[in-house]
Amino acid sequence: MHRQTNRHCYSRQGCAEKIYFKPDGSIPQVEMTSNGLSDKPLAGKGEYGAYIACNLMSGKGAGSYTNKKEDFALHPCFTQQEEDGEKGPGTYIADISDKTVIGYKYFNLQNTTYISLKVRGTGKGKMFIKNNLKEEPVGYINIVAENEYKMFHSKVRLPANANMIFFIFEGSGKLDFQKFILQ
């Protein structure tokens, strides 16, 4: 499977997931996750690129690259950057604005108590952290972004069975999101 990047339908990022055959030979649709082909959840400790998100949508919902350019410019996107031929920050999520949702599945978060985000931009507000979109936040990170990437962090209180992370930005301006660290 793949997902579109860089705000047009001709740039794509490959995604891999295990598939299963039913007894009749059909293959049911699979869920896109952040851990792809792994048989076990990702570690709840370590550094992860923001680009492993399996859910990304603006406050207006998911963007479609079949719409007019002005329409999908309002949505965040996966992209990458090189600076003057030098390796830049690599792949990241660009144009995060108020009510953007960024989701990651599946992790072993039983001992995760601290989350850090590396962002840049003009955004000011809070990045709420949820284990499930239908539940209350388990924490938040205050963000006052600058032109250069900067780390922001906070303690979190995840439930014992936590295995997903959703970041929801509430504030003004826009953010680019490069990576997160779980501790």
pLDDT classification of 2: cutoffs 50, 70, 90: very low
Q: Euclidean distance between the first and final Cα of the chain, in Å?
A: 31
What pLDDT does residue 61 have?
67
pLDDT of residue 68: 56
Q: H-helix or E-strand containing 171?
A: strand 164-172
Q: What is the mean pLDDT of residues 26-43?
A: 87
* Domain range list for the chain: 40-182
pLDDT in tens, 161-182: 899 999 999 999 999 999 999 9
pLDDT digits (tens, 9 = 90+) for 57-106: 988 766 655 555 556 667 798 888 765 555 556 889 999 999 999 999 99
- Counting DSSP H helices and E strands in the chain, the numbers are 1, 15
pLDDT of residue 109: 95
CATH topology for 40-182 is Jelly Rolls (2.60.120)
